[in-house]
Amino acid sequence: MSNLEQTLSIIKPDAVERNLSEEIKQVFKNNDFKILKEKKIKLEKHEAEKFYQVHQSKPFYNDLCTYLSSGAIVVMILEKENAVLDNRKLMGATDPLKAENGTLRKKYGVSIDKNSVHGSDSTENAKIEIDFFFKN
């Protein structure tokens, strides 16, 4: 049965500033993701805080929001069968040191905080995150 999904992907500041955006977009395309929409933006800190509000009780929350708003990011709506899970697989573990060979975070990630990409973790959060960046 077909299960066409959309998920939100972000190329984070560490990857954008190393000019890896085009290379990472090509990896998505090579893995059958269609990039439906994309834009390069820079968030204000309060916007990053809103985006990551599920993590507001975590010790890394403030640094995370400072980091996500520290430079340009590329946000994309990706579409394919099982896009949410397949994107998480392609990204690899949160900590690049623990990410499997062939994953984006293994290849491009610098550290657990500068891990190059974000991807929605459920179809429900994908809808919320897509609306956050692309509604209107």
Q: Scanning the structure block, which residue is given the tokens 């209107």?
A: 136
Which value, in Å, is the radius of gyration of the alpha carbons in the chain? 14
Number of residues that bind ligand UDP (CB under 6 A): 9
Q: Give the orientation angle of helix 83-91 with respect to helix 123-134, to 10 degrees.
A: 90
CB 84 within 8 A of CB 121: yes
Type of residue numbered 124: E
The only residue of 118, 126, 129, 133 in contact with ligand UDP, by rule CB under 6 A:
118
The SS3 call for residue 119 is: strand
Per CB under 6 A, 106 contacts ligand UDP:
no
| DSSP assignment string, 49-104 | HHHTGGGTTSTTHHHHHHHHTSS-EEEEEEEEETHHHHHHHHH--SSGGGSPTTSH
Looking only at residues 37 through 56 of this chain, which bind ligand UDP when binding is defined by CB under 6 A? 55
Report, in Å, the least distance between residue 84 CB and Mg ion.
11
Binding at 115: pick from ligand UDP, Mg ion, none (beta carbon under 5-8 Å per type): ligand UDP
Per CB under 6 A, 121 contacts ligand UDP:
yes
Report, in Å, the least distance between residue 114 CB and ligand UDP.
7
Measured from the CB atom, is 77 or 104 closer to ligand UDP? 104
Report, in Å, the least distance between residue 37 CB and Mg ion.
21
Per CB under 6 A, 115 contacts ligand UDP:
yes
Catalytic sites, residue numbers: 118
Footprint on this chain of Mg ion (rule: CB under 5 A): 121
